Every structure is written in structure tokens, then in C-alpha cells.
């Protein structure tokens, strides 16, 4: 009798571990914005399959074709999954993969439809689809980019999509328009070659009923906060930086809520409620893309372009100008730094007391997050390029190369690759995780992997 009662008790305890006192799934069990809760890229206790096969559908729940082109990662809340896309009958070049220096935009000026799509995560069926805007793109796209790069953000009541120059759109959970904003043309271009148009890619984030957007563009850059329900502006501050494609993040310190933004001329922290600058620093890669990662007492930044490619560990109590002097690797507020080795595009992954950094060529550095010492340096893939940021669950890292090869790597103090599985299509998008399932968005498809 005791043995029969044991397993139901475990199930009940596990249920309460994953739910709040209201019976709703806890926010940290959702995947509510780019790379999940707090952009961490982590969700444990998911019971994902050890392997899968796209060709024979082994552990593949469903696979659906997605119209148009988009690089937004899937965002998930309860049973609903959200993606964006830009659809054109003429923009047929697709995404150019590989490591190359060519950065001139795709020469397309056709009419596009910018869409938000809500999908049932269990069945793959579309629940609703909305066209936010129709027209010719105001900014062209990089060959590796699309016109729908930013992931949506949701709190389970509202869904916000940011299409850069084509506007900011808020819908309720059933797809009804709530409010929208037009910021005019946001010139997402190379800072030193403005005709190299690369399209907008900074995702919005939601925190405590407030929407935060970072717009570091060629002219009139800003950071702003809006009331999520009404769209009314709470504050808006000018930014003085190069064009940036990084998504901001939020952290708490000593009773204060602070917005962390990556940057080259102006990396920094802002008061969440007023927009007042708390700290700043300059330097690093001059085309910032990775998102800041929040740790225990530390915020981690990386960037790489031009002569510099640092990894930076910033104490959460940072204040004032904390820029490192020439030759310095640390100061009062910079706990440690690595001058060269940061990734150009990948956001880092902080997982089980390991800080992982993935580079474009498939090298993986594992660091001690407290001291910055290297634990190991590994390599996945052969002559392949990587652009999608890594995610992790239950002791495994999931890293995808541009040709759609999924590398599953064991978390630990030594490099250990477990599996190498093909998706059968190009992939430049970070996977998304929910209980029992992991989702891969390729150039043409959305694929749900889970035990069958």
C-alpha cells in the first residue's frame, strides 16, 4: 500500500513545484520572450527526448511549413506558441549561410506582409494569424537577416511584436489589436557604411507590466518604457551609440530594478522606473548583438566586431562610468574580463555554474562564471558556421548550426558531445523549450520535438 501511494505523491509534489498557488504555470516555467524567461535560454525538468529523427518522425510531434521569412525565435505561454514572419511573393533569395564578409543588403523592394502567428504548441495548428503591416520595407535586410527578426514578448495576456520601421504592435491573447506605435524609419545599418542595411532585430521585453524596447540605430537612438495595457509612454531616454541588434535584459540589485543594455559607445544600466542612467561603459565589439545574461550578483556581456571581442562580468552594484582603462581587465565594478574571445552574434549561456560562449566557427568555451577562468575549449561541427544562440535543459546544451545540424552537448567540466542530428533545413534561430518539447524554427518550417 505504501508503494502504491508513493508515485502519486511524487506527481503531486512535482505539479506544485511547477505551478503557483493560483494553479497557473509559474512565469519562470514559461518561454515568454527571446530565449525564454529572463532571456536565460534555460528550462530544466522538461523530460525532453534523448534523440529524434526528422526523416522518420521519431520523437517528432509535428512539423508545419511557415510562410515567408523570419528569424524570430518561438515564444511560448501555456499551450500557445508565437512567431512572426514577413511574407513576399518576390523576396525569394532565402537566407545566405556560411562565413563571409559580404554585408551588402538583399536588393529587394517588393511588398511584404508582416504577420504574427499564434500556434497550438501541442498540435501545430494555427489558432490565429494577424497581418500587422503591409508595404515595401523601409530598410533592406542583410543576406543572413529577414524583415521579421525580433521575437515577440508576452505575459500571458498581451502579445507584443516589434517590426522596427514597420511599427510596434500589441495584441491581446486572442489576437485582437490593442494598440500600436510608429517610430518612423529606424535605420539599422552598419555604423561605418550606412548603405549596408541589415534590418532591425532587437526584441521587446516585458517586466512587471511594462514593455521595454531598445532602439540603437543610425540616428535618434533611444531606450523606452511603455505601459503594457495602454501603450502609454512611461519614459524615453536618448541613446548615444552605434546601431545595435541586442535585446535588453532586467536585473534586481539592493531593492532596485535595472535594465541592462549591450552597446559599444554606451553599454550600461538604467533605472527601470525612471530611465535614469545608473552606470555606463564603452569599448568592445563595435556592432553589439548578444543579449546581457543575468547571474548571481553579476551581469555578463560579450560582443565581437572590429579589433575587440571581450567577455565582461559586471557587478550588479555598478555605478557611474566603469570603462576599463587601457591594459585593465578589472576594476571596482568590472569583476573580470577576457579581452578577446567574445562572440559576434551568440548570447552566452549561464547554466549550472558554467558560463558557455559559442563562436561563429563552432568553438565552445566553458568558463567559471565567478572568476572567469577557462574550464575547457571544445569544437562542434566541421567547416560550418553558427549563428543561433545555445539553450539548455536537464544537463544538455542544444546548439544548431546554420545548415540545420543540432549538436547536443553534455553540461560539465569536460567537453562531451552526445548527439548530432539534422533538421533538414537551414536554421539561424535559437530553439525554444517547454515542458516535454523543444521547438526548432528553420528557414521553411517549425518543428516540435517531444517523446512520442
Q: What is the pLDDT of residue 354?
A: 98
Which residues does 92 contact at the CB level (< 8 Å), separation at least 6? none
Ranges of the chain with pLDDT below 70: 1-24
Q: What is the pLDDT of residue 9?
A: 41
384 closest CA partner among 401, 370, 397: 401
Q: What is the largest CA-CA distance in the chain?
A: 74
User: How far is CA 348 from each of CA 311, 357, 399, rounded to the nearest angstrom?
Assistant: 9, 5, 12
The residues with which 126 forms a beta bridge, in sequence order, are 119
The residue to which cell 545595435 is assigned: 244
Spell out the domain ranges in the chain: 32-450
359 closest CA partner among 323, 401, 395, 397: 401
| The model's pTM | 0.94
Q: How far apart are CA 419 and CA 410, in angstroms?
A: 9
Q: What is the pLDDT of residue 16?
A: 40
Taking the domain 32-450, which CATH number applies? 2.130.10.10
Q: What is the pLDDT of residue 100?
A: 87
- List of long-range contacts for 363-371, beta carbons under 8 Å, 24+ apart: 364/399, 364/409, 364/415, 365/341, 366/413, 366/415, 367/311, 367/338, 369/295, 369/298, 369/300, 369/313, 370/298, 370/335, 371/336
Cβ-contact 114, 172 below 8 angstroms: no
Q: What is the pLDDT of residue 18?
A: 54
Amino acid at each position: 500500500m505504501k508503494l502504491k501511494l508513493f508515485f502519486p505523491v511524487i506527481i503531486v509534489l512535482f505539479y506544485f513545484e511547477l505551478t503557483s498557488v493560483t494553479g497557473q504555470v509559474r512565469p519562470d516555467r514559461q518561454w515568454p520572450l527571446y530565449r525564454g524567461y529572463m532571456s536565460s535560454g534555460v528550462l530544466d525538468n522538461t523530460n525532453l527526448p534523448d534523440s529524434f529523427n526528422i526523416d522518420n518522425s521519431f520523437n517528432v510531434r509535428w512539423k508545419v511549413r511557415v510562410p515567408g521569412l523570419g528569424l524570430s525565435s518561438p515564444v511560448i505561454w501555456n499551450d500557445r506558441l508565437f512567431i512572426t514572419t514577413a511574407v513576399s511573393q518576390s523576396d525569394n533569395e532565402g537566407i545566405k549561410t556560411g562565413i563571409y564578409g559580404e554585408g551588402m543588403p538583399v536588393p529587394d523592394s517588393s511588398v511584404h506582409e508582416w504577420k504574427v502567428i499564434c500556434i497550438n504548441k501541442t498540435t501545430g495548428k494555427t489558432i490565429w494569424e494577424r497581418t500587422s503591416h503591409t508595404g515595401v520595407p523601409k530598410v533592406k535586410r542583410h543576406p543572413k537577416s529577414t524583415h521579421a527578426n525580433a521575437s515577440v514578448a508576452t505575459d500571458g495576456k498581451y502579445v507584443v511584436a516589434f517590426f522596427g520601421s514597420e511599427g510596434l504592435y500589441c495584441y491581446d491573447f486572442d489576437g485582437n489589436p490593442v494598440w500600436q506605435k510608429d517610430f518612423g524609419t529606424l535605420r539599422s545599418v552598419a555604423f561605418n557604411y550606412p548603405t549596408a542595411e541589415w534590418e532591425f532585430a532587437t526584441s521587446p521585453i516585458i517586466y512587471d507590466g511594462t514593455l521595454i524596447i531598445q532602439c540603437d540605430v543610425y540616428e535618434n537612438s533611444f531606450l523606452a518604457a511603455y505601459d503594457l495595457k495602454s501603450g502609454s509612454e512611461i519614459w524615453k531616454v536618448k541613446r548615444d551609440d552605434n546601431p545595435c541588434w541586442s535585446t535588453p535584459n532586467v536585473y534586481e540589485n539592493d531593492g532596485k530594478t535595472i535594465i541592462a543594455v549591450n552597446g559599444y559607445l554606451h553599454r550600461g544600466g538604467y533605472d527601470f522606473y525612471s530611465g535614469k542612467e545608473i552606470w555606463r561603459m564603452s569599448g568592445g565589439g563595435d556592432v553589439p548583438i548578444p543579449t546581457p545574461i543575468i547571474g548571481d550578483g553579476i551581469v555578463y556581456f560579450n560582443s565581437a566586431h572590429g579589433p575587440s571581442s571581450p567577455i565582461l562580468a559586471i557587478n550588479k552594484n555598478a555605478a557611474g562610468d566603469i570603462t576599463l582603462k587601457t591594459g585593465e581587465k578589472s576594476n571596482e565594478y568590472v569583476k573580470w574580463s577576457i579581452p578577446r574571445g567574445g562572440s559576434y552574434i551568440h548570447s552566452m549561456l549561464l547554466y549550472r555554474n558554467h558560463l558557455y560562449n559559442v563562436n561563429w566557427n563552432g568553438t565552445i568555451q566553458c568558463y567559471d562564471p565567478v572568476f572567469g577562468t577557462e574550464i575547457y575549449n571544445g569544437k562542434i561541427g566541421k567547416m560550418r558556421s553558427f549563428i543561433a544562440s545555445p539553450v539548455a535543459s536537464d544537463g544538455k546544451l542544444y546548439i544548431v548550426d546554420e545548415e540545420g545540424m543540432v549538436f547536443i552537448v553534455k553540461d560539465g567540466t569536460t567537453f562531451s558531445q552526445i548527439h548530432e542530428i539534422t533538421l533538414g533545413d537551414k536554421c539561424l534561430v535559437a530553439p525554444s523549450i517547454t515542458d516535454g518539447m523543444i521547438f526548432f524554427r528553420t528557414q521553411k518550417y517549425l518543428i516540435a520535438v517531444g517523446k512520442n
